[in-house]
Structure formats: structure tokens, C-alpha cells
């Protein structure tokens, strides 16, 4: 057990929880929702909030792991798409989402297409978020096993139970404000780590040469073109199809702050991927990738190798806390999707608040168990698993959402066909032997085609709905 790291980790988690409670009390006392924080949030804070809402720490850890395992171009392809996440979502949907007044994906689908599409969307969000628990649990299991000195499986089970308790007891309150701190800790931590690495190796050029000396394939493209392209597309679209974080950001703030926050988030992404490049190079230069049981562990090895124990403790604690709050948000999304959006709204309208909460808790526990079972023996590298989730969400929601905002002829039947057809195609592609993370290169176009063709073959939406779509494109409040 790493005593120093473990103590810092424990202390950090307690402080984060206390901050969460304090901010939650403040947030609930005002009428503005937590994003606007009474309309006082500025672009600087907004940038970190936006960044933290989209960038999960497990994916940063995974990006570094994949850069070492599959060569640095894989990490760069990841960044090629990921850096554009805030910008692409802003270009394509921000103004329209703002004017439509919705804050979550299922809410938009209900507003634009009606109940049937909302139910299907809610079910798909639940499935995607449950799967998204697996990379979170894998990453936290790796950190936990290292810091606490226990084996990986035990760490996954203990932390999985911990996440469920945290989400069940805390609800939304613990997430948002602490996310800002996690985002800052990650960016600053990666910056410090990069500076230490560069000083240790004597510059960028020698760092890369050191990595190449250990692994001559480090700079090479080792996978088929489709894998890199697939990864790029999956991440490029992540902001558009992620269930609520980005939409809420665009919907809740004034337009100018939301845009500047997205710009800030884009800048943070650029810096994080530059640091990730250095960290992955340092990881490759250590020459231990082959000896690790799980290559996603490389980020932790680099932290431990280059940073003094106190800084390493803070960095690992920040990493784990950030994963915890992401997992918390996912579990809550799963619970809300089933108990609130489906059960309360369509199955039992008279259900008491207590019954809904209890059902939510059961769903949360089930989702955790599924996550833990898969994470015990993770099917792939973290980066690949995150790519799968993003690819699946793109195949399901991407085109029904974007066409729904941009093309008034899109109707309910088209959206349903696109959503279900895209998802089924994705699952079939995932079962077939295919290049890594490229399933959605087939399933997303299938979804687009189905949405367009079925919409054209069936009756157009009502004049009222078409007017509404026109309203998304007015000059008012761009």
C-alpha cells in the first residue's frame, strides 16, 4: 500500500464531498439552476465546467494508454476528434438547441417527435450509460489496486459499491461544482507532470527519441486506417450525442458566455492532448508497457515514476475523484432514465416519490453490478471502450437529433427508424470481426439513410412542428 498516496486520496475525497454539500446548499437556495449559478458564472469557470462535463478522466488515462500500446498516432487521432468536441457541437447544434429551450436529449426527442421516440431514446441512454460504467470502473480499479495495494478485481468491486453508495446518498449535488475542481486538478496536474518529464529528458526531441529507442514502433501507424478514422468520427460527434452535459451548457447560459466557454473548453482540450503526448512518450520510454497486465496502467506508472509522492497522491486522487463523479452522473442518468422518464411517466403515473426513488436505487445497483462484472475482465483498452460508447450513441441519436434540428421534413417514423436501425446495425457490426472502433462508420450512415428515407416515405410533420423547426433558425438570440 502506498501510505502517502492513500492518505492524500482519502483526504481529497472527504474534502470533495464536503465542497459538494456546501455548494449544493448554496445552489438550492437560489432559483437559477446549477450551471448558471444565479447567472454569475463567467466564461473562465464555464470553460472548466464544459471541459469537465465532456472529458472523463478515464478517457484521458485511456488516451495515454492507447498512445503507448498502439503507437502515438492513435492518441493523436483521439485528440484530432476530441479537441473539436466543444466546437463541433457548438457549430452544429448550440444556437438551435438554445432556441428550442430543451436541456436533455430525451427531452428534445419528446418535444420534436413525441413520446415513442422519447421512450426509445431513454432506453438507449440507459444502455449506453451502463456500458460507459465499464471504462470508469476499469480506470478506478487500476488506480485503487495500485494505491491501496489490493488486487484489481477486489478494487473494482469495492469502488463499484462505493460509487453506487455515493450516487445513492448524494444524488446530483456532489457532481457539478466538484467537477470544476477535478477539471482544474487534471489540467494543472498534467501540466506539472509534463514539465517534470521534459526537464528530466531534456526537451521534446530527446523525449521522443528516448521513447523510440525503447519502442521503435512508437511513432508508427500500427492499426488499419479505419480504426483511426473511426476513432476520430466517434469523438468528433461525442459532444453532439452525449446525453445532456453539452446541451445543458448551451441551453442554460446566455449565448455569448456559452460560446466563449466552448472556446475555453477547446483550448483546454488542446493543452491536455499536448500534455498527453508528453506523458505517453514518457510512458513508452519507461519500457514497461509489455510487463503491465493492463496497458491503461501506464498513466499511473508515469505519475509514480516522475512525480514526488505528495504530488502523485494529489494527481491520483484528482483522477479517481473525477472518475467517481463521472460514474456518479452516469448512474444517476441510468436511474432517472428508467424510474422517472419511463416508469413514472408512462407505466405508473400515480407512483409515489418514494417508489420512484426506490426503483431508481434498484436500477443503479443493477447497472453497477453489470458494470463491475464486465470491468473485472475489461473487453478492451479504455480508449476503445469509450470509442464504442460514443460510436453507439452517434449511431442511435446523431442523425435523428441533427436532422430534427436542421430539416423540418424529419418526422417521428423517420427518427424511430434511424434510432432503432442505427443501434441494431451497430450491434451487428460490433459482433462481426472488424477494424477497431469503426463499427459506427457503417451504422451511422445507415441511421442517416433510414431517418431520411422513412421520413420522405411517410407523412410530413404537422405545420405546427415545421414552424417550430423554422423558429430554431431565427436570428433571435443566436
List of residues contacting other proteins (CB under 8 A): 72-73, 76-77, 79-80, 83-84, 86-88, 90-92, 94-95, 205, 208-209, 212, 218-221, 225, 228-229, 232, 236, 255-256, 259-260, 262-263, 266-267, 269-270, 273-274, 277, 406, 467, 470-471, 473-476, 478
Contact criterion met (CB below 8 Å) for 118 and 110 = yes
Residue 150 phi, psi dihedral angles, 5° rounding: -110, 170
Smallest gap from residue 218 Cβ to other proteins (A): 7
**CA nearest neighbour of 461 among 387, 426, 409:** 409
Smallest gap from residue 464 Cβ to other proteins (A): 12
Q: For residues 280 and 206, give the distance between their C-alpha atoms in angstroms, rounded to a whole number.
A: 14
- The Cβ of residue 377 has, within 10 Å, a number of other Cβ atoms equal to 10
DSSP 3-state assignment of 308? Answer: coil
DSSP string, 405-459: HH-TT--HHHHHHHHHHHHHHHHHHHHS--STT-THHHHHHHHHHHHHHHHHHSP
Between 30 and 474, whose beta carbon lies closer to other proteins? 474
Cα torsion 348, 354, 360, 365: sign: negative
Between 218 and 374, whose beta carbon lies closer to other proteins? 218
- In angstroms, what CA-CA distances link 222 with 17, 125, 210, 239? 43, 33, 19, 27
Element (H, E) at 292: none
Smallest gap from residue 475 Cβ to other proteins (A): 5
DSSP 3-state assignment of 269? Answer: helix
Smallest gap from residue 45 Cβ to other proteins (A): 17
Between 86 and 422, whose beta carbon lies closer to other proteins? 86
Between 225 and 346, whose beta carbon lies closer to other proteins? 225
Q: For residues 3 and 7, give the distance between their C-alpha atoms in angstroms, rounded to a whole number.
A: 6
Q: What's the grid cell of residue 20?
A: 459538494
Between 210 and 341, whose beta carbon lies closer to other proteins? 210
Between 93 and 315, whose beta carbon lies closer to other proteins? 93
Contact criterion met (CB below 8 Å) for 84 and 267 = no
Say which residue the cell 430539416 belongs to.
407
The residues, any chain, with a CB within 8 Å of residue 315's CB and separated by 6 or more, are 185, 189, 193, 303, 307
Say which residue the cell 510512458 belongs to.
283
Q: What's the grid cell of residue 447?
A: 441511421
Between 84 and 297, whose beta carbon lies closer to other proteins? 84
Contact criterion met (CB below 8 Å) for 411 and 461 = yes
Between 191 and 229, whose beta carbon lies closer to other proteins? 229
Between 82 and 147, whose beta carbon lies closer to other proteins? 82
**Within 13 Å of residue 72, how many CA atoms lie on the same side as its CB?**
23
Say which residue the cell 441494431 belongs to.
424
Smallest gap from residue 426 Cβ to other proteins (A): 21
Q: For residues 413 and 115, give the distance between their C-alpha atoms in angstroms, rounded to a whole number.
A: 12
Smallest gap from residue 305 Cβ to other proteins (A): 22
- The Cβ of residue 369 has, within 10 Å, a number of other Cβ atoms equal to 15
Smallest gap from residue 468 Cβ to other proteins (A): 10
Smallest gap from residue 207 Cβ to other proteins (A): 11
Say which residue the cell 521513447 belongs to.
211
Between 34 and 250, whose beta carbon lies closer to other proteins? 250
Smallest gap from residue 130 Cβ to other proteins (A): 31
Between 157 and 236, whose beta carbon lies closer to other proteins? 236
Amino acid at each position: 500500500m502506498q501510505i502517502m498516496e492513500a492518505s492524500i486520496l482519502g483526504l481529497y475525497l472527504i474534502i470533495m464531498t464536503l465542497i459538494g454539500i456546501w455548494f449544493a446548499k448554496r445552489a438550492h437556495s437560489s432559483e437559477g439552476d446549477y450551471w448558471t449559478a444565479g447567472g454569475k458564472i463567467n466564461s473562465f469557470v464555464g470553460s472548466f465546467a464544459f471541459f469537465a462535463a465532456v472529458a472523463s478522466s478515464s478517457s484521458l488515462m485511456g488516451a495515454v494508454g492507447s498512445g503507448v500500446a498502439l503507437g502515438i498516432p492513435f492518441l493523436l487521432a483521439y485528440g484530432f476528434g476530441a479537441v473539436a468536441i466543444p466546437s463541433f457541437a457548438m457549430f452544429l447544434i448550440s444556437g438551435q438547441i438554445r432556441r428550442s429551450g430543451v436541456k436533455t436529449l430525451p427531452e428534445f426527442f419528446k418535444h420534436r417527435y413525441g413520446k415513442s421516440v422519447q421512450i426509445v431514446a431513454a432506453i438507449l441512454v440507459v444502455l449506453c450509460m451502463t456500458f460507459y460504467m465499464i471504462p470508469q470502473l476499469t480506470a478506478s480499479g487500476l488506480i485503487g489496486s495500485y494505491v491501496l495495494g489490493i488486487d484489481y478485481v477486489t478494487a473494482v468491486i469495492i469502488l463499484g459499491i462505493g460509487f453506487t453508495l455515493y450516487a445513492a446518498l448524494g444524488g446530483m449535488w456532489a457532481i457539478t461544482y466538484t467537477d470544476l475542481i477535478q477539471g482544474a486538478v487534471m489540467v494543472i496536474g498534467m501540466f506539472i507532470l509534463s514539465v517534470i518529464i521534459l526537464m528530466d529528458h531534456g526537451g521534446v526531441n530527446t523525449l521522443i527519441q528516448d521513447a523510440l529507442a525503447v519502442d521503435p514502433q512508437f511513432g508508427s501507424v500500427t492499426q488499419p486506417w479505419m480504426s483511426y478514422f473511426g476513432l476520430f468520427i466517434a469523438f468528433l460527434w461525442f459532444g453532439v450525442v452525449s446525453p445532456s452535459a453539452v446541451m445543458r451548457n448551451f441551453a442554460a447560459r446566455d449565448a455569448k458566455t456559452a460560446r466563449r466557454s466552448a472556446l475555453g473548453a477547446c483550448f483546454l482540450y488542446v493543452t491536455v492532448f499536448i500534455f498527453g503526448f508528453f506523458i505517453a512518450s514518457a510512458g513508452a520510454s519507461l519500457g514497461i508497457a509489455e510487463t503491465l497486465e493492463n496497458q491503461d496502467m501506464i498513466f499511473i506508472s508515469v505519475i509514480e515514476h516522475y512525480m514526488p509522492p505528495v504530488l502523485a497522491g494529489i494527481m491520483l486522487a484528482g483522477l479517481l475523484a473525477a472518475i467517481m463523479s463521472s460514474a456518479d452522473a452516469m448512474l444517476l442518468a441510468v436511474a432517472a432514465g428508467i424510474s422517472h422518464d419511463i416508469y413514472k411517466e408512462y407505466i405508473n403515473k400515480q407512483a409515489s416519490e418514494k417508489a420512484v426513488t426506490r426503483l431508481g436505487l434498484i436500477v443503479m445497483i443493477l447497472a453497477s453490478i453489470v458494470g463491475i462484472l464486465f470491468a473485472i475482465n475489461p473487453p478492451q483498452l479504455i480508449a476503445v471502450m469509450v470509442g464504442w460508447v460514443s460510436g453507439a450513441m452517434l449511431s442511435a441519436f446523431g442523425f435523428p437529433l441533427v436532422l430534427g434540428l436542421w430539416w423540418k421534413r424529419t418526422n417521428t417514423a423517420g427518427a424511430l427508424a434511424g434510432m432503432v436501425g442505427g443501434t441494431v446495425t451497430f450491434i451487428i457490426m460490433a459482433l462481426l470481426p472488424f477494424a477497431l472502433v469503426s463499427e459506427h462508420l457503417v451504422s451511422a450512415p445507415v441511421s442517416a439513410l433510414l431517418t431520411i428515407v422513412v421520413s420522405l416515405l411517410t407523412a410530413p410533420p404537422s405545420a405546427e412542428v415545421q414552424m417550430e423547426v423554422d423558429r430554431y433558425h431565427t436570428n433571435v438570440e443566436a
